[in-house]
Amino acid sequence: ADTDITGMVFKISTSSSAPSGMTYYKKIGSFYNNSSSAIENVTNLREDDGTDYQDVIKGWVNFTGTGTVTINDSYNVSSVTDNGTGDYTINWTTAFASANYAISGSATRTSSSGLAVGINQTGGLTTSSARIETFNPADLPIDPSIVNVIAIGDR
């Protein structure tokens, strides 16, 4: 990337150490062409697809919070349980190493009042799930049309 991070350039370099003309770079893999010009020996330098990085999102979900809870899209989420109005449990497919991971969330506004997502005080975070609450500015539980939650931590 260039220094102002407004653009990303990917280069294929014959150098084993650094591409020419670049100040900042990250080697993400390698390959070579055999004598028949076919690409061989493709190597990804991160076999875990980034899951070992602490700053990579390890789970996320977008779900419908009204009526029957429906997962619209997700990563590392096996299911979402509806515990009552504005009270949901997100169940992780692969558990976290400890309950000390971080979550953040948002909810779609269904009226002129704002919505918030918070960690449920009774269920909170466990290695295998995150219990969250959605509520309006008057601190009343509400089922929003869409809930989004991300989780970052060690797995």
Asked whether the beta carbons of 27 and 45 are under 8 A apart, the reply is yes
Tens-digit pLDDT profile for residues 8-67:
666 666 666 666 776 666 666 666 677 777 777 666 565 555 556 666 788 999 999 999
Q: What is the pLDDT of residue 73?
A: 93
Which DSSP category does 16 fall into?
A: S
Quick check: helix, strand or coil at residue 101?
Answer: coil
Q: What is the pLDDT of residue 1?
A: 45
CA atoms within 13 A on the CB side of 5: 0
Asked whether the beta carbons of 137 and 154 are under 8 A apart, the reply is no
Q: What is the pLDDT of residue 125?
A: 94
Question: Is the pLDDT reported for residue 147 higher than 70?
Answer: yes
